[in-house]
């Protein structure tokens, strides 16, 4: 699969907290084992109870478009060939209050509406320096 923003587009540096999101091939959200609070992005501390017993849970991989913007101005030279492209904030089914940012692929960007059902798809990438493999969550429209 060619990546939505190009195969050379920058990869996020991995940390213990974001590695499940960018490499697992599933939508994983961090939950507090003490109070069941879901939080995104993951952190070392529960935002609700300040507990430290946190674990990732695999979500169904579906969600809804909460907000979207169609970008027409390439803010970086490597994006000149990619405009217009769509950035969406997707609320994650199964994780109340949690949303992630991504692109909605496989459709005309102007057809993506607020509230649209989406499902996760994963772009493959490899860091040319480290050899680290990525499965980057992206989104495509799904039936309601
Ligand atoms: Zn908690």
Q: What is the pLDDT of residues 24-77, one digit of tens each?
A: 999 999 999 999 999 999 999 999 999 999 999 999 999 999 999 999 999 989
How high is the pLDDT of residue 5?
87
Q: Which domain holds residue 48?
A: 19-141
Which helix (H) or strand (E) segment is 22 a member of? helix 19-23
Ligand 1 midpoint to CA 48 (Å):
5
How high is the pLDDT of residue 74?
93
Q: Between β-strands 85-92 and 62-71, what pairing exists: parallel, antiparallel or unpaired?
A: antiparallel
Ligand 1 midpoint to CA 101 (Å):
24
- Give the integer Cα–Cα distance in Å for 74 and 84: 8
Average pLDDT over residues 70-93: 93
Nearest CA to 68 out of 105, 114, 99 is that of 114
At 100-137, the pLDDT tens digits run 999 999 999 889 999 999 999 999 999 999 999 999 99
Ligand 1 midpoint to CA 39 (Å):
9
* Per-residue pLDDT band at 16 (split at 50, 70, 90): very high
Ligand 1 midpoint to CA 28 (Å):
17
pLDDT, greater one: 141 or 81: 141
Is 12 a member of any domain? no
Is 50 a member of any domain? yes
Is 69 a member of any domain? yes
How high is the pLDDT of residue 1?
52
Is 77 a member of any domain? yes
Which helix (H) or strand (E) segment is 117 a member of? strand 117-126
**Residue with tokens 């697992």, as numbered in its chain:** 24
Ligand 1 midpoint to CA 141 (Å):
33
Is 6 a member of any domain? no
Is 14 a member of any domain? no
Is 99 a member of any domain? yes
Which helix (H) or strand (E) segment is 63 a member of? strand 62-71
Helix runs in the chain, H state only: 19-23
What is the number of domains present in the chain? 1
Ligand 1 midpoint to CA 114 (Å):
30
Ligand 1 midpoint to CA 124 (Å):
33
């Amino acid at each position: 699969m060619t990546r939505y923003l190009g195969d050379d587009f920058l990869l996020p540096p991995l940390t213990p907290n974001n590695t499940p999101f960018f490499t697992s091939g599933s939508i994983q959200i961090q939950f507090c084992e003490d109070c069941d609070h879901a939080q995104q992005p993951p952190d070392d501390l529960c935002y609700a109870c300040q507990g430290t017993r946190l674990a990732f849970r695999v979500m169904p991989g579906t969600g809804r478009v909460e907000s979207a913007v169609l970008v027409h101005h390439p803010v970086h030279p490597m994006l000149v060939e990619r405009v217009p492209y769509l950035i969406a904030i997707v609320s994650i089914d199964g994780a109340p209050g949690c949303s992630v940012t991504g692109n909605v692929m496989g459709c005309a960007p102007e057809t993506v509406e607020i509230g649209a059902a989406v499902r996760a798809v994963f772009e493959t990438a490899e860091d040319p320096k480290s050899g680290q493999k990525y499965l980057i969550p992206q989104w495509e429209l799904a039936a309601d």
